[in-house]
Amino acid sequence: MVLFFSTKPTNFSSAYLSFSHKNNITLTAPSSSYNRSQGIDLKAGGKSKKTKRTAPKSNDVYLKLLVKLYRFLVRRTGSQFNAVVLKRLFMSKVNKPPLSLSRLVTFMKGKEDKIAVVVGTITDDIRVYEVPALKVTALRFTETVRARIEKAGGECLTFDQLALRAPLGQNTVLLRGPKNAREAVKHFGPAPGVPHSHTKPYVRSKGRKFERARGRRNSRGFRV
């Protein structure tokens, strides 16, 4: 018996053995089209799933109408602006933080000819004395900020009005409120007693007897 090997190096586990009538054995490498990749075993067929929202949790019928409108615009226009607006319409209340009038004026400085778009609420800021004429689209305006914007010659638009004016999001500025400005966020992070931690502690009271002692204040020896 004679054993013949092919000239190309090959893997014995994926090679083919051929026998002839003269008791000769030939080892041949598989063709390039042969699939050498090996699959992996997935537990229960795989459990990875997408966790992002595909619809809002809210039962607000007007919000659902806006979702229906922007689903259509995303499908028919392919605009990235519309896709972002649709995604933000799905978001929870925490992820749709309000934007104050002062921040709005700051962000729109030099862009007064464009339309500001906020998927959330616009709130008033009494520290702002002069309000420029701004065109603003938002889900909601407080009564005072709506009156101030319109008195200055601006416009408060809804998202269905925006879809008629800018179906592709042209000439707009997409803005968001400060997501981490909530009181609850101040308590997140390393424990308040850990060195170099600036996390706000949960304290029952701000009186004389609460977290004023040595080790808690720089004015009392040291602070951890």
145, 123 contact by CB (below 8 A):
yes
The pTM (predicted TM-score) of the whole model is 0.74
Where in the chain are the domains? 1-30, 61-175, 182-224
Q: What is the tens place of the pLDDT at every residue in 145-199?
A: 999 999 999 999 999 999 999 999 999 999 999 999 999 999 999 998 888 888 9
Give pLDDT, residue 109.
Answer: 97
On the question of pLDDT at 18 being above 80, the answer is no
Give pLDDT, residue 37.
Answer: 73
Q: What is the tens place of the pLDDT at every residue in 94-141?
A: 999 999 999 999 999 999 999 999 999 999 999 999 999 999 999 999
CATH 3.40.50.2300 for domain 61-175, yes or no, is: no
State the helix-helix crossing angle for 61-77 and 80-90, rounded to 10 degrees: 150
| Rounded Cα–Cα distance for residues 122 and 126 (Å) | 13
73, 100 contact by CB (below 8 A):
no
Q: What percent of the chain has pLDDT over 70?
A: 84
65, 151 contact by CB (below 8 A):
no
Give pLDDT, residue 12.
Answer: 47
Tell me the CA end-to-end span of the chain in Å, nearest whole number. 83
Give pLDDT, residue 33.
Answer: 57
9-23, 72-86, 110-124, range with the lowest pLDDT: 9-23
The larger pLDDT score, comparing residue 42 to residue 208, is at 208
- Phi/psi of residue 118, each to 5°? -130, 120
